[in-house]
Amino acid sequence: MSYAVEKQLAEVAKTIKKILSVAELPAIEIANSKFDADFALPCFTLARDLHKKPQEIAEQIVVGLNHPVIAKAEAKAGFVNLWLSDSALGSALGEIVTKPTYGAQKLLDKQKILIEVYSTNPFKDLHIGHAYNSIVGDTLANIFKLGGADLHRVSYGGDVGLHVGKSMWAILRYLEGDISKLDVVKSGDRPAFLSRMYVEGAGQYEEDSIIRQQIDVLARQSFVQDDAFFKQVYEICRQWSFDYIHKMIKKMGSQLAEREYWENEADKLGRQIVETHIGDVFERSEGAIVFKGETYGLHTRVFITSHDTTLYEARDLGLMQLKEQEYNPDKSYYLTAEEQRDYFKVVLKAAQLSLPELKDKSVNISTGTVKLSTGKMSSRTGKVVNIEGLFKELSEALKARGAEEDNLQAGIVGALRYAMLKVRIGGDIIFDINESISLEGNSGPYLQYAHARGRSILAKLADSSSTEKSSSSSSHPRLDWESSKKKSSLLTGSPIGVGDDETGEKTFVDFTADEHKLAIKVLEYPTITAKAISELAPHHICNYLYELTQQFNRFYEHNRIIGDPRQNQRAELVNSYCQVLENGLGVLGIPAPERL
């Protein structure tokens, strides 16, 4: 995707190359915000090639540069500082309204990408770490999509193994052979019930060696499932879990996976892969089947235990194979916590050797650990925070601050997602519930508020213009003031808009300093999306949107929109701003309600 500003700058770069008669030019950067300029060209690398001082080169460019896109150029400290002309700015802004997907890129065009958006274990509780992982997964999926990828969301559920044995042991004990006892558990209580059962089984496993043996038997049963009663109970409870997981995923503002893989189905395939490669990839050791990673600078891991059950390692191989068969993707992304980083390297190496057709399609992105700051929440519960408890806390805090009931959910999602997405993926994240629900400063609600504020101005304008005129209410109220004007050249949008051709009325004739600043910030969006896509870094979008809304709030503070002689132009500008903000929030999975 090539946006107007990009094209304009490319033209300027061409001109500068001519002035210096060089073939290559460093990138024209967005100027540091502490300087007044829009863009800057550093001349330091040029200095080496041309054997001149950077400042001399900068001055040479300034003297020679005469381009309609550039209103002003200045040489300072080895940089050429550049200001965009009003006409260039105006035509670039027009794109935002005409392209609803403004910000989308083609960096990943035609790539088929698979991403595991959540990997949860049924039977166990969902805690804040699951929330973080799934929110990051969902947002990365949005970013891949923004990059033009053929994106597929999948998930993986651990429905076999020891943890299932632990849960099932406690559940079966509770039932005492009578499955109708499950009916007593009301649907709202099911997650808590399952969570209690798991905790009970896990506790007994540690304490009692006889129970441990019973649990081991049940764990094996989760694979084979040849006991009818076990199977019946297992399937009901697993369904309860998945219903709950789906509910929570949606509540966090994330999308469900289009294909949900279960360990159950990856198990057989995984075992088969391991067993057919004993000798060339895997080897027997102390009764288990292992992969010796030391040969490759990694460590040894067990794939099939000495009790002849598969481990996560083997099942992951099966999963990779399954994904390959069903999707044949170009890239397949796995999101894991950092403690799984080295684990994943081993599995990937084993996969590379035993399944060469996978090549290096699988990529692991590791996130840090979610830690709670020592707030009242962690001290009260004393342990990991259950995800529903988190929702409750967020909801109460928002209500206490006077949030409208209708938009409570939007606020919760905004606060939670933004708090988790605004920092770089990879490091540990210190989650402070009080800070995350704070409506002030660099927060989700700040952005949502700033959006609602802008929309409310536009709505007000739409109202006044529709009451003045015979009210033929448009389906797009926020563009109503447009109807009172002639079709603006902004909306037709000359492609490159260098302003040579001054035919027709321009919505943006000139810009005040404040308008110019806001406009430049709005137009920075595609540069940011490109960065977020290539680095897989949602936090760039967060930071940008925060700077954008800050810029808007400053503008709003000092400039009147309704009733000002420049009303129409400013409304257009606010509209562009709202559009970009809404687009950006959309990528983050944060709703942008018209009112809060």
Touching RNA, residues 30-49 (CB under 7 A): 31-32, 34-35, 37, 40, 42, 44-45, 47-48
Instruction: From residue 330, give the alpha-carbon distance in Å to each of 119, 151, 336.
Output: 21, 10, 20
Residues 154-173 that bind RNA (CB under 7 A): 158, 161-163
Beta strands 150-157 and 259-262 are parallel
Q: Which of 543, 566, 582, 586 binds RNA (CB under 7 A)?
A: 543
Q: Which of residues 250-289 bind RNA (CB under 7 A)?
A: 263, 285-288
- Nearest distance in Å: CB 561, RNA: 4
**Is residue 339 near RNA by the rule CB under 7 A?**
yes
Q: Please state the closest distance from residue 159 (CB atom) to RNA, in A.
A: 9
Measured from the CB atom, the residue of 225 and 499 that comes closer to RNA is 225
CB of 73 to RNA, least distance (A): 12
The residue behind tokens 């035509």 is 91
Q: Which amino acid is at 491?
A: L
**Residue selected from 4, 8, 16, 81 as contacting RNA according to rule CB under 7 A:** 81
Residue 30, strand partner residues? 39
Looking at 240-389, which runs of residues are DSSP E strands? 259-262, 283-285, 288-291, 301-304, 331-337, 362-367, 370-372
* Nearest-approach distance from CB 184 to RNA, in angstroms: 29
The strand pair at 112-120 and 150-157 is best described as parallel
Q: Looking at the DSSP assignment, which residues form a beta bridge with residue 363?
A: 333
Among 52, 231, 341, 517, binds RNA (CB under 7 A): 341
CB 183 within 8 A of CB 143: no
Told to check if 563 binds RNA by CB under 7 A, we report yes
Q: How far is the CB of 198 from RNA (least distance, A)?
A: 12
Asked if 192 contacts 240 with a C-beta cutoff of 8 angstroms, the reply is: no
If binding is defined by CB under 7 A, does position 129 make contact with RNA?
Answer: no
Fill in the per-residue mask, 445 to 464: x = in contact with RNA (CB under 7 A), - = not in contact.
xx--xx-xx-xxx--x----
Q: By C-alpha distance, which of 373, 541, 527, 575 is closest to 444?
A: 541
Residue 100 in the binding site for RNA (CB under 7 A): no
Applying CB under 7 A, does 440 fall inside the site for RNA? yes
Q: How far is the CB of 503 from RNA (least distance, A)?
A: 31
Could you tell me which stretch among 133-141, 191-199, 439-447, 519-527 binds RNA (CB under 7 A)? 439-447
Q: Which of 7, 8, 1, 9 is nearest to 28 (CA)?
A: 9
Dihedral angle over CA of 97, 101, 104, 108, nearest 10: -150
**For RNA, which residue of 16, 149, 252, 302 counts as binding (CB under 7 A)?**
302
Q: Please, which of residues 474-533 interact with RNA by CB under 7 A?
A: none
Beta strands at 288-291 and 301-304: parallel, antiparallel or unpaired: antiparallel
| Per-residue CA distances from 561 to 146, 458, 513, 540, 566 (Å) | 32, 10, 15, 30, 7
Does 539 sit near RNA (CB under 7 A)?
Answer: yes
- Based on the shown chain and the rule CB under 7 A, indicate whether residue 213 belongs to the binding site for RNA: no
Question: Is 568 among the residues that bind RNA (CB under 7 A)?
Answer: no
